[in-house]
Structure 1
Amino acid sequence: MANDEKKLHIAMFPWLAFGHMIPYLELAKLIASKGHLISFISTPRNIDRLPKIPPTLASLINFVKLPLPHVQNLPDNAEATSDVPLNLVPFLKKAYDALQDSVTRFLEDSHPDWLLYDFAPYWLPAIARNLNIPGAFFSIFIAASLCVCGTKAHLGERKSPEDYTVPPPWIPFPTTVAFRLFEVLKVFEQGLTGVEDDVSDIFRFIQMLQGCDVVAVRGCMEFEPEWLRLLEDLNGKPVLPVGQLPTTAFDGEDDTDIWLWMEAWLDMHSKGSVVYVAFGSEAKPSQTELTEIALGLEQSGLPFFWVLRTRRGPADTEVTELPEGFEERTKERGVVCTSWAPQLKILAHDSVGGFLTHSGWSSVVESLQFERPLILLTFFADQGINAKVLDEKKIGYLIPRNEQDGSFTRDSVAESLRLVIVEEEGKAYRGKAKEMKGLFGDRDSQDRYVNSFLGYLKTHLQPQKHE
């Protein structure tokens, strides 16, 4: 069979976070729609919680459920980062690493043409190589984050948290992209550099970049060309952008009662007037932060729709609360929703004029595909780098904060929201969000990136696989 006609079998193994699994699933759907077979490997509970896929793709996406090994200190049924408070995530990584044997057995039995893996399974590139399966590190992090991370050669260069607050010396072009001190302190706290006998995140990243055959990145040349080129230069291997992977809702799902009341509420507000507030499945503001966000929303005078997460899984004992009387005082113009909400449908609604977000890349893509300007409030991980990239390109506005401890005030929340959504000064952000629609929501462009990626995978198969 000629290479261009060959149907591939691609296995995918994302990290146990929905911010990772969802982009992996988006790429899986796009590849399956071209007739290729996907084996999507995760744990039973995670697979059961993924969005439904269209029936037309059901025969081409095979969900491989591998039970998560039991690890001390990890609560029962905790299979994703959103199921546990941040201090228990290292135990989730230990359980994930313990999947090594069952993943190996699956690969031995099925021998896919390619394996796409995330940043976390640092042990997997060597296993794939032994089995003669080519591997791609598919990064859901943008190229700028990977460049800031560096390579093995840079490992000892940054010794203190302050070293991360300036662009690293290996970036050859002028940029402001770096962590703020409070962000990097939080990243250190959460295992970027490793705790006790745990493997550090930076080690995992570097092992993946070193061990893979090719780096696939969620992104496009039109958005971050300088970072994609630098990533290739730093790692000395092909870097293939796969597009921004805008989330596609499965249209076969009926409008639920939940959406019907939300839509009715949004319909009551004028175009571009509502602030949508959501911090993803992971980020949970502290009690102090939650209070300032709430009082800032109240002070702004703008209508708002807030999807609020008050705890991370049943093991999270620090349940946060809204300020006393807040809901009563704002009930005429605001909604606080503590259950699941259809973010894509909310952002698509005309009344939404801006998105107060944690800067997680899936939320950024969803917002920009509907031309919604961004007000940025980061919490952890790569969000600080994402926010600085958006800030540098004038696509998102950073809420002013104390660089040392990350604190912010209700005044800065209120002023930032008003600036981006209604004031003359924020016109630049509103205009830039409109400009970005072509990059973040264009299906034809997305299709070209996937075709190009598949073309590369087909021409770099192991020869003995189809003699």
Structure 2
Amino acid sequence: MTTVPALADLNFVVIPLLSTSHLIPLTDMAKLLAQQGVTVTLVTTPLNAARFTAAIDRAIRSGLVIRVVELQFRAKEAGLPEGCENHNDVPGLKYRRQFFAAIDMLQEQAEKLFEEMKPKPSCIISDAYVAWTAETADKFQIPRIVFDGMSCFTQMCMHSLYIMRDQNKIPESGPFVIPDLPDRIEVTKAQLPPHFNPARAIFIQDIREKIRTAQNRAYGVVINTFEELEQRYVDKFQKLKNGRVWCIGPLSLCNNDDLDKAQRGNKSTFDKEDSLTKWLDSWQPESVVFACFGSLGRMTVVQFVELALGLEASGYPFILVIKAGEGQTPIEGWISENGFEERTKERGLLIRDWTPQVLILSHPAIGGFLTHCGWNSTVEGISAGVPMITWPLFAEQFLNERFLVHVLNIAAGVGSQAIVHLGEEEKFEVQVTNKAVTDAIEKVMDKEKEGNEMRKRARELGEMAKRAVEGDGSSYLNVTLLIKEIQDFQLNQSAKNANAQACDVLV
């Protein structure tokens, strides 16, 4: 007779894509699963492990069973510079194919570890972009649950768009409505992700199709969202995936104290007496605009000038996060030559380091979030109850903007019209003027009229998000249901193996 596996005997193997915006939510997910009493093995590489070591070590000291396994990243063998282990560090997108080749080289090492793991792997929770995990799951006869960092809304948009693409029905120009959705969502081809609107310079469509094929083979899907946020789209996606969709977010809310928020995703110099917190404390509630464009977003200097001048002209205090490193010299030159930082120092704060975004968003002084609409940032803004100013740049970000502006009604757009593919930023000049930036900020920050309605709705969604992850909330329940699904799978697998052995004996 087989028995249900104990929680401590379950081993959830979490395999993120080695990219900052993918590592962060899956590291949160590892903590969330471990809080339920299961063993979690987080598979990464040494330089990526260093980004979250402090936070994970603290979780382990609290009693959570999380093991970090480091694989050798064969950068040089794949044609990448030595030490280049994260997508954010790849020197130009001409190396993207080499980066994914190095990701594929991790498979053999990982499978050797799987053979030796105790407890044995119960399932794989894999980033959708790590396609080889589909083969590994088959080899070890365990479920593979995929995570690709999108909402159910965007999943359903993408599903309809794939059908349109296969039928050659996506118009080359002009707006069109994405079919078979609960809401009227209008876009243009120029605003679509590269799956439907590929970059001219970097063409890796074969890798995308390989990833999509592996994703479609998955046992189920985990989503960084909560059901109450997008119930109609959750229902449609559940139906599409035979019920195996678990909405377990917002994942960022598993970070309860300021130190966890500050060190989420990378090392930070933050402490409770830090100048950033003091600066925020000096402003009235809901008076500051926080402008941040994610870990990958890049702007040309001419477009940055419009952003900076728009923030300045709005009259509101602001925090502006500026990329550090290669390619930023022209922007830093403009800031210095035009005295922008000096001119705005009384109400503007420029940050050039890793930014504790969740910590900033949770501060009472933040009244608006100017964002690129990456889903991590989107759901973090929703969780904080902050209305948003939307400026999508690339990937599926225009779809996320439609969700914020036209479905949730908690945002105003700056009027960006087309995807700026990663690596092609210099081909674009100014898409968004400083006036458009100022107008959108004023619309959201206005305490009366439309801005007040956005703010009220954003607060309501923020409270809903917090309730979802509490003990009786929908996301908390979905975590327990996911674990039970894996318990049941193991129980059924054990029963099958026992029957097979019994048959062998009879023969």
Structure 1: tracts of 5 or more residues without a match: none
1:427 aligned onto 2:438: no
- Which of 72, 75, 80 is matched with 1:67 structurally? 72
Question: 2-side partners of 1:262 and 1:58: how far apart?
Answer: 31
Q: Deviations over 1:236-279 (max 9, x none)?
A: 45222223212444748498469621122112211211111111
- Which of 481, 488, 492 is matched with 1:463 structurally? 492
Match of residue 32 from structure 2: 30
Root-mean-square deviation (CA), in Å? Answer: 3.1
Q: How does 1:90-239 map to 2 (within 5 A)?
A: 90-110=97-117, 111-150=120-159, 156-158=166-168, 162=172, 166-169=176-179, 171-176=180-185, 178=187, 181-184=190-193, 188-189=197-198, 195=203, 199-208=206-215, 210-236=216-242, 238-239=244-245
Question: 1-side partners of 2:129 and 2:174: how far apart?
Answer: 21
- Which of 375, 378, 387 is matched with 2:392 structurally? 378
Match of residue 398 from structure 1: 413
1:307 aligned onto 2:310: no
Q: Deviations over 1:12-63 (max 9, x none)?
A: 1111112111111111111111211011111111111125122445661111
Q: Deviations over 1:269-319 (max 9, x none)?
A: 1121111111121212222221110010111111111121144xx5x5876
1:339 aligned onto 2:356: no
Question: 1-side partners of 2:492 and 2:240: how far apart?
Answer: 28
Once the two structures are overlaid, the 10-residue window that deviates more, 379-388 or 181-190, is: 181-190
TM-score (norm 1): 0.88
Q: Which protein is bigger by CA-based radius of gyration?
A: 2
Q: For residue 387 of structure 1, what is the amino acid of its counterpart?
A: E
Question: 1-side partners of 2:321 and 2:357: how far apart?
Answer: 9
Question: 2-side partners of 1:230 and 1:292: how far apart?
Answer: 40
Question: 1-side partners of 2:456 and 2:362: how far apart?
Answer: 17
Once the two structures are overlaid, the 10-residue window that deviates more, 404-413 or 25-34, is: 404-413
2:172 aligns to what SS in structure 1? Answer: helix
Q: 1:285 to 1:390 in 2, by over 3 A?
A: same
Q: 1:280 to 1:234 in 2, by over 3 A?
A: same
Q: 1:179 to 1:47 in 2, by over 3 A?
A: farther
Q: For residue 127 of structure 1, what is the amino acid of its counterpart?
A: T
Q: 1:421 to 1:257 in 2, by over 3 A?
A: same
Partners of 2:252 and 2:358 within 8 A in 1: no
Q: For residue 422 of structure 1, what is the amino acid of its counterpart?
A: D
Q: Deviations over 1:147-167 (max 9, x none)?
A: 222288776234767389644
Partners of 2:28 and 2:251 within 8 A in 1: yes
Once the two structures are overlaid, the 10-residue window that deviates more, 34-43 or 130-139, is: 130-139
Q: For residue 457 of structure 1, what is the amino acid of its counterpart?
A: I
Task: State the shift of 1:427 in Å.
Answer: 1.3
Structure with a larger share of its residues in helix: 2
Q: 1:431 to 1:180 in 2, by over 3 A?
A: farther
Question: 2-side partners of 1:259 and 1:181: how far apart?
Answer: 46
Q: Percent identity?
A: 25
Q: For residue 101 of structure 1, what is the amino acid of its counterpart?
A: E
Task: State the shift of 1:368 in Å.
Answer: 2.4
